[in-house]
Amino acid sequence: MESFGIAQTDLIIRQDSLDLKTTILSEIDKRSAAVNDKDLTIRALNNELAKYQVASPQLDKDLTVLFPELQSYSIGQQQYYAKKIV
């Protein structure tokens, strides 16, 4: 402590390390759970998006071979729900 200009002084730090460790681990667990929830949500959304991606480089090649006069095209997913006839 002499380097700080306070000679003949003792610095005593008293802290319960067990409580500090528990608090830190608890906070880490909370943050990990939040990250895991976000990861699950992102994965579910990516899986949902993958269902709607029908275009691929191979499809482009196949269309060019089958329909050489085709200049441009668009692809979409159409959903049709039949009504019950009573």
For the segment 11-18, the average pLDDT, to the nearest whole number, is 72
Residue in the structure block whose two tokens are 């390390």: 17
pTM score of the predicted model: 0.41
At residue 17, the pLDDT reads: 62
**pLDDT tops 70 at residue 19:** yes
- Summarised one tens digit per residue, pLDDT across range 27-48 is 888 888 888 888 889 999 999 8
H/E element, 59: helix 57-66
Contact status, residue 29 vs residue 37, Cβ threshold 8 Å = no
Q: In terms of residues, how long is the chain? A: 86
H/E element, 46: helix 17-51
